[in-house]
Structure 1
């Protein structure tokens, strides 16, 4: 495994060193788990070289780790820990019973790191291509509170919910994506094959063509002459967008934009609020102080805009403000969440009410995903109607005018 040299900043000051990891991103994840702000990560001189091309190709062709593999691993690990099985023996048993080769390799690496004296959360962080920030942060909470078995049960329920949501999103988007693909294919066939065939007929009319027909002819001519440029521009734009989202400022702007989308924005916001409430409830129930709990919750948020707001909450609480005032200042929480926080602070049951919020918004997200196709369908019908209208006006109006002139003669 290659080595990387890093520099960063911790509570004690500037730090530097070397770590072994699969990639520079994995090094950054390990350092974040340790509370270190990463300044730079570079390949260390004399580090191990990457695997040969054939080995990398074979690794790419092998079956990857599926969500169901992670689901079974988390559930089985909870059962073993709850039964009193030591963590090393539990990992050894799960490694032998894993059906995925990549899962076996991952668990073997985790067990080896654990045997060398590294804490469990850091062992998972070394495999950041498999275990996400939420998983690692929750394991860290379990280590701090001594409730690893409960944490893995909560992670199982979370992964089960995420997998269910993923299936519902695919199911809801299947019909709209099919209609959009059919529309794009129809536009392409019309521009490349149908309109050029009518162009000669329209040229013989010798009359002024309607605006819709002129627009179709111009679009068809541009597609035939510069179609290759459109393909290149689309590819370059997609690549540039991915690179921009990969930057810190780009990811923040993109996550903020997703919350403002007309239909999907509310679903994304409710899903993030459900995750926030579930994570905060688990951390508080485990005995973690609220400031430290908010730090962990911020690490589990997938949306960087919301994560930044949660970090701001932690800073406000450290300055002496209440949890409610800190939440109001973020301007991202709904009135329902704010009311629950207010009642929770008054009664001392913030963890219980946050779990109620998580259950509420999880149900809302599930319902809205089920009805997502019905919400998008009217928009698709309008676009399809406009497309058919333009095509009908552009193609049939000149033919209608030609037939009317011939009939008068």
Structure 2
């Protein structure tokens, strides 16, 4: 919901100024017209104080997937388009989605197409969804398109959850290990260090090392925080430059073990998107352009753009993919078969299903591989610190 400043004239000729909360400029104009005002000007207030603030995306992907499935179900049940949107607006717990759906319903009642009405909310409704809905409206297959999109985004959500779980687990364990290590070095080790010093006994090398490192952490703890902050800032800055972002995406695909997992996830998304677009009768060049924008990895995006240029020259879609390390032979062979048989969408769908299954299996394998490694690492760090304390204590006991 945004705030708009307006200038208008009442029926008795009085000029008035004021502020109005509305979702879009068009809806603000409609509300003022219903108040029997002659509107001179309506401008959005861009001040920070007048904006709705959301941390991250205004709509959670889980809520978006649920909304799309419900939308598809209602349309299949025979409800009218406006009735379905109104019902969804009443049922959703998401405030941004509720406000957007109310405005979309209002505009659809006025004769605006659903795709045009949804296009005004790019943060809520992705470009792919809007384009597919537009295709469904033109072809008269809106119900089928909604069902296909609901299935597509459900698969995307499941893949994203798998990738997130697999990659987040080692980060959480590593963070936990770091917190425990810092706690031991800052609060526990100094207590025993003072005790050992009071006895005046010669300390083992392992204890000297841990005590020295403990003193260093207490005095220069900021040296551990500042590099992390600088790395995060540098990473975000580098991502803004296309060439640097390309190399970062390339690096992510070449990381041992994890890179192969990310590659499968990216290819699963690419083939699912391209298959859905072609199946909905979107022209192949347009489908490639949309898919290249949807795929998050710039390495794959570059090859898709080259494939589009190859098609314009009358060459095969698979030609730019041949010999490129990011595309396995399976995808290339299936695309060639699909081009020859005229069933490219079906071949891509089969590849997408294969990679979808491989992502799930790879996620489970990755977790089963990382878990013991991280546990051993955590046990080794803590064990090393504990041993540095226990060994001199045994020496002291023997002395007494």
**Bin for the TM-score computed over the shorter chain:** 0.7 to 0.9
Residue in 2 that maps onto 1:159: 153
Contact 1:141/1:283 (<8 A) preserved: no
Counterpart among 289, 293, 298 of residue 287 in structure 2: 293
Higher alpha-carbon deviation: 299-308 or 384-393: 384-393
Given the superposition, is the C-alpha separation of residues 147 and 180 from structure 1 closer, same or farther in structure 2, using an over 3 Å criterion? same
Given the superposition, is the C-alpha separation of residues 234 and 331 from structure 1 closer, same or farther in structure 2, using an over 3 Å criterion? closer
* Deviation for aligned residue 1:368: 2.4
CA distances 1:205-259 after superposition (whole Å, capped 9, x unpaired): 575852x444323321221112245334434443443344355445433333322
Contact 2:100/2:121 (<8 A) preserved: yes
2:121 equivalent to 1:127: yes
State the Cα RMSD in Å. Answer: 3.7
Counterpart among 301, 316, 323 of residue 307 in structure 1: 301
Counterpart among 63, 67, 70 of residue 69 in structure 1: 63
* Deviation for aligned residue 1:322: 0.8
CA distances 1:299-348 after superposition (whole Å, capped 9, x unpaired): 22122332222112111221232122122154321121112112222322
> 1:254, 1:154 → 2: CA distance?
33
Alignment of 1:8-407 (within 5 A): 48-50=44-46, 53=49, 56=51, 60=54, 65-82=59-76, 87-112=81-106, 120-142=114-136, 145-168=139-162, 176=170, 179-201=173-195, 203=197, 205=200, 207=202, 210=205, 212-328=206-322, 330-388=324-382, 390-392=384-386, 394-399=388-393, 406=399
* Deviation for aligned residue 1:83: 6.0
> 1:394, 1:289 → 2: CA distance?
68
* Deviation for aligned residue 1:294: 0.9
TM-score using structure 1 length: 0.74
TM-score using structure 2 length: 0.75
Residue in 2 that maps onto 1:33: none
Given the superposition, is the C-alpha separation of residues 254 and 152 from structure 1 closer, same or farther in structure 2, using an over 3 Å criterion? farther
Contact 1:67/1:163 (<8 A) preserved: yes
> 1:213, 1:95 → 2: CA distance?
64
> 1:187, 1:264 → 2: CA distance?
26
Higher alpha-carbon deviation: 329-338 or 75-84: 75-84
Given the superposition, is the C-alpha separation of residues 403 and 225 from structure 1 closer, same or farther in structure 2, using an over 3 Å criterion? same
* Deviation for aligned residue 1:145: 4.9
Contact 2:82/2:108 (<8 A) preserved: yes
Q: 3-state DSSP class of the match of 1:266?
A: helix
* Deviation for aligned residue 1:153: 1.0
Q: Rg: which structure is higher?
A: 2
> 2:111, 2:332 → 1: CA distance?
42
Given the superposition, is the C-alpha separation of residues 137 and 258 from structure 1 closer, same or farther in structure 2, using an over 3 Å criterion? farther
Contact 1:278/1:354 (<8 A) preserved: yes
Q: 3-state DSSP class of the match of 2:340?
A: helix
Q: 3-state DSSP class of the match of 1:259?
A: helix
* Deviation for aligned residue 1:376: 0.8
Contact 2:159/2:265 (<8 A) preserved: no
Higher alpha-carbon deviation: 328-337 or 196-205: 196-205
* Deviation for aligned residue 1:379: 1.9
> 2:136, 2:208 → 1: CA distance?
67
> 1:283, 1:296 → 2: CA distance?
9
Task: Could you tell me which runs of 5 or more consecutive residues in structure 2 were left unpaired when the two chains were aligned.
Answer: 5-21, 25-41
> 1:131, 1:230 → 2: CA distance?
41
* Deviation for aligned residue 1:355: 0.9
> 1:73, 1:234 → 2: CA distance?
38
> 2:239, 2:177 → 1: CA distance?
28
Given the superposition, is the C-alpha separation of residues 129 and 247 from structure 1 closer, same or farther in structure 2, using an over 3 Å criterion? farther
Figure out how many residues of one structure are paired with residues of the other and give that number.
Answer: 363
